[in-house]
Amino acid sequence: MAAWLVRRLVASIAIVFAVVTITFFVVHLAHGTPCGSQDRPLPPEVCQQLCRRFGCDKPLLVQYGMYLARLGHGDLGESIGLHRPIADALAEAIPNTFILALAALLIDFALGLALGIYQAVRAGRFGDVAVGNVALLINSMPVFWLGLVLLLVFAQWLHWFPAGGITDPVLCPRIESPYCVLDFLWHLTLPALTLGLVGAASTARYQRAAMLEVVRQDYVRTARAKGLRERRVLLVHALRNALLPIITLFGLAFPFLFTGAVLIETVFAWPGMGRLAVSAILQRDYPVVTGAALLTSAMVVLGNLIADALYAVADPRIRVRAGEGGGGGGGRD
């Protein structure tokens, strides 16, 4: 298990390094300058001086070398547009994105699993078909569009939820009372629901298929023959094995959640990494873009690592092989 973990960690670091390198060169090779806003483009001499300060007048490979040297010392650099250390900006944004992704993940899997099981139990009947079609409809919507629809209906028309932001700035400048915790959750609902619903729609389809596969197995028939109640057969005996493909999906959900967050954070003015990255890309704030890519890829890789570890926990066969040092490829065999 330890050897497997070490191998996976080394591979993960290599992946993150590759992402950072590709991002660095792609953002620098894209044309454009970090010189000023739409409000007031900087005068050329000011722009040139700013560029000199951030080293963007140097050859690209030299800039890359400097970036790696700084990174080696744990320094992500300074933002051109935000006028502050990138580590500070990311440190403020990461928790917000993480909470949003976590809430969306919760909705995704709780709702997805429940609907998938419901569909499997009622396979072929009206409930199954109806849920399946609605799930397909939601799944085919672009996530930002769904966000805009929810914003329009629940915030602008019905006024049930706020139209964006993280808390009420008047009553809850800081989250330090039960009221403000609820206020925060209230603000979190629409963005998390947007991301979670799209994920839940596909999770439900996977779960339905997995359950239908498992309930045909001999051991389930045996459980029924033993006279166990249907609920126990499904939730205790069948569900555990039907969860294996869903754990794989859990690993795959991370990239979706982080890329989805980029759009959703912009739609709902949620101050997370996605919004920070979008704004940095538009302003050609190279250090922030690279820093955000570094952290996002690290989190996605970590998510996959967790998913693989969970897989091993849920499936004893994989646990044994990993323990024997034969669990290469993350136990997906």
Q: How many other C-beta atoms can be found within 10 angstroms of the C-beta atom of residue 73?
A: 6
What is the pattern of x (binds other proteins, CB under 8 A) and - over residues 98-137?
A: ----------------------------------------
169, 218, 225, 231: residue in contact with other proteins (rule CB under 8 A): 169
Total number of residues that touch other proteins (CB under 8 A): 64
Residue 42 or residue 305: which is nearer to other proteins going by CB?
42
Say whether residue 272 binds other proteins (CB under 8 A): yes
Per DSSP, 158 falls in state S
Residue 75 or residue 324: which is nearer to other proteins going by CB?
75
Q: Which of 139, 284, 291 is nearest to 208 (CA)?
A: 139
How far is the C-alpha of 86 from the C-alpha of 277, rounded, in Å?
11
Q: Which of 270, 243, 319 is nearest to 166 (CA)?
A: 270
Distances in Å between the alpha carbon of 294 and those of 95, 277, 283, 289, 297? Answer: 16, 11, 18, 9, 5
11, 22, 44, 68: residue in contact with other proteins (rule CB under 8 A): 44
Residue 14 or residue 30: which is nearer to other proteins going by CB?
30
Q: Are 136 and 172 spatial neighbours (Cβ–Cβ below 8 Å)?
A: no
Per DSSP, 85 falls in state B
Residue 39 or residue 218: which is nearer to other proteins going by CB?
39
Say whether residue 262 binds other proteins (CB under 8 A): no
Say whether residue 231 binds other proteins (CB under 8 A): no
Say whether residue 163 binds other proteins (CB under 8 A): yes
Say whether residue 166 binds other proteins (CB under 8 A): yes
2, 40, 61, 231: residue in contact with other proteins (rule CB under 8 A): 40
Measured N-to-C along each axis, helices 86-121 and 244-267 cross at an angle, to the nearest 10 degrees, of 130
Rg (CA), the chain: 24
- Give the E-state strand segments of the chain in sequence order: none
Say whether residue 153 binds other proteins (CB under 8 A): no
**Which residues are near other proteins by CB under 8 A?**
30-44, 46, 49-50, 53, 78, 81-85, 89, 92-93, 96, 151, 155-156, 158-167, 169-171, 173, 177-179, 182, 186, 266-267, 269, 271-272, 275-276, 278-279, 281-284
